[in-house]
Amino acid sequence: MTPSALPLGDPAPSDGLLPAQAADGAAERGFGLYVHIPFCAVRCGYCDFNTYTARELGGGASQDEYGGTAQQEVAFAARALRGSGVPDRQLGTVFFGGGTPTLLPARDLADILGAAVAEWGLAPGAEVTTEANPDSVTPESLRLLADAGFTRVSFGMQSAVPHVLKVLDRTHNPARVPDAVRWARDAGLNVSVDLIYGTPGESMADWRRSVEEALSYEPDHISAYALIVEDGTRLARQIRRGEVPEVDDDDHADKYQLADELMSAAGLHWYEVSNWARTSADECRHNLAYWRSDDWWGIGPGAHSHVGGVRWWNVKHPAAYAARLQSGQSPAAGRETLDADTRYLEDVMLRARLAEGLPASALHASGRQAVAGLIADGLVEPAAAFAGTLRLTLRGRLLADAVVRRLLPD
């Protein structure tokens, strides 16, 4: 998903060409595509992503025309990468996020994917995912997606408890989720389920019910994210007015531990702090590419891209995005070239969250000096650390941000 607030940065050239460093070592890096579908039927009260309901779109933008506009950026991306000397690479992963990608007709999603495959091809065994609201799919739409080359669907379940969904402003019927999962399985798609914990008013029993319900569908993958209340959202205003209670960090920790216990007992393993998979083949390779700082191009308004230490982001509004592409210009609003210190910070911050661990050899001297204290505090596994890899314990996962701060220079 794409955050609503764009960062500051340098101007992005209208031709989309990248500096020479983007091509350095590109052949050894993975390449993926993110496709942002910025439409939702209803804006959820906790959501801070760059999404729009039909009422919010205004003039100059249309869901009906969006598929064609996204294909225009696919063609633009291919020209810009080749013009920048970045070698052609097959797509290892493609991820359609939102918003609600499946608000678009399945044929539109298939055509966007087809345009990308025509430009770059798919690597053998490539992972192609779409997020979906359980209410926005049918057996027929899921079969069409599978036939078009999609391999995986990620359902936004969030909770199995109606009063929790109401606080989140989620409108789907929780009884629809098992049907949607079954239809996806029948179409030959792998299935992931997304959950959110820590919603105001959610009891521990509510959370247990949601996790157990999700596990009963036997998904290949589950993501469980702590609710973060973002400024400017409806939920933030409700909390400020005292209409719902504030979120509680201790409650988050207790619910995380329960989720890990239940998922481990059901045969799923954690591979990133907020993600569990049934086997290593079921891990979300697209997200792993983000955490390992591979290359990806982000299609769509507000979407972010990264190639060889160059990062850029598109204009936010669908109308401005479409206008840029129709005039032959890059839709990028700004970009930055990451310096060595920033790349190091991000590498530590992201890779420390992975179960595969962070090699101690990748740390600066100050980070290596912090390892003994992390072992003593029970935050990293001693045996792995002595073997040269920092791997978080359960306590370390709960305090992952604090671990990262201790590994980075002041």
Spatial distance between the Cα atoms of 119 and 122, rounded to a whole number of angstroms: 10
Q: Are strands 190-197 and 152-158 parallel, antiparallel or unpaired?
A: parallel
Domain boundaries, the chain: 20-291, 339-410
Q: What is the mean pLDDT of residues 393-404?
A: 97
pLDDT class of 89 with cuts at 50, 70, 90: very high
Q: Where are the beta strands (DSSP E) in 273-369?
A: 275-277, 295-299, 304-307, 310-314, 332-337, 358-359
Which two structure tokens, joined as six digits, stand for 40? 């939702």
With a cut of 90, say whether residue 348 has pLDDT above it.
Answer: yes
Supply the CATH classification number for the domain 339-410.
1.10.10
pLDDT class of 346 with cuts at 50, 70, 90: very high
With a cut of 80, say whether residue 24 has pLDDT above it.
Answer: yes
State the average pLDDT for the chain: 92
The tens digit of pLDDT for each residue in 116-167 reads 999 999 999 999 999 999 999 999 999 999 999 999 999 999 999 999 998 8
Single-letter code of the amino acid located at 148: A
Strand partners, 380: 392
The pLDDT of residue 52:
73
DSSP letter at 39 equals B
Spatial distance between the Cα atoms of 360 and 248, rounded to a whole number of angstroms: 33
Instruction: Report pTM.
Output: 0.93
With a cut of 70, say whether residue 22 has pLDDT above it.
Answer: yes
Q: What is the mean pLDDT of residues 310-333?
A: 96
The pLDDT of residue 231:
60
Spatial distance between the Cα atoms of 59 and 56, rounded to a whole number of angstroms: 9
pLDDT class of 402 with cuts at 50, 70, 90: very high
Which one is predicted more confidently, 52 or 147? 147
With a cut of 60, say whether residue 48 has pLDDT above it.
Answer: no
Secondary structure of residue 341 in the 3-state scheme: helix
Number of other residues whose CB lies within 10 A of the CB of residue 265: 9
Contact 226, 188 (CB under 8 A): no
Lowest-pLDDT choice from 9-23, 128-142, 169-183, 314-328: 169-183
Residue with tokens 């078009």: 148
The pLDDT of residue 354:
98
The tens digit of pLDDT for each residue in 166-176 reads 888 877 788 89
308-321: b or e for each residue (b if 16 or more CB lie within 10 Å)?
A: bbbbbbbbbbbbbb
**Which ranges of 5-62 would DSSP assign to H, the alpha helix?**
54-57
CATH 3.40.50.300 fits 20-291, yes or no: no
Longest dimension (CA), the chain: 60
The pLDDT of residue 234:
64
pLDDT class of 27 with cuts at 50, 70, 90: very high
Q: What is the mean pLDDT of residues 98-103?
A: 92
The tens digit of pLDDT for each residue in 73-82 reads 999 999 999 9
Secondary structure of residue 181 in the 3-state scheme: helix
Which two structure tokens, joined as six digits, stand for 50? 């760059």
Residue with tokens 């290892």: 92
The pLDDT of residue 144:
98
Lowest-pLDDT choice from 59-63, 73-77, 281-285: 59-63
The tens digit of pLDDT for each residue in 214-259 reads 999 999 999 999 987 656 666 657 667 766 666 777 999 999 999 9
The pLDDT of residue 382:
98
The tens digit of pLDDT for each residue in 308-320 reads 999 999 999 999 9
By the 10 Å C-beta count (0-12 exposed, 13-18 middle, 19+ buried), 410 is classed as: exposed
Work out the angle at residue 298's Cα, subtended by the Cα atoms of residues 28 and 12, and round it to the nearest 5 degrees. Answer: 95
Q: Is 293 left (phi over 0), alpha (psi -120 to 50) or beta?
A: left
DSSP letter at 99 equals S
The pLDDT of residue 169:
81
DSSP letter at 16 equals -
Helix H, strand E, coil C: the string for 246-286 is: CCCHHHHHHHHHHHHHHHHHCCCEEEECCEEECCHHHCCHH
Element (H, E) at 66: helix 63-83
Q: Which of 104, 28, 91 is nearest to 65 (CA)?
A: 104
Spatial distance between the Cα atoms of 387 and 381, rounded to a whole number of angstroms: 10
Spatial distance between the Cα atoms of 112 and 72, rounded to a whole number of angstroms: 9
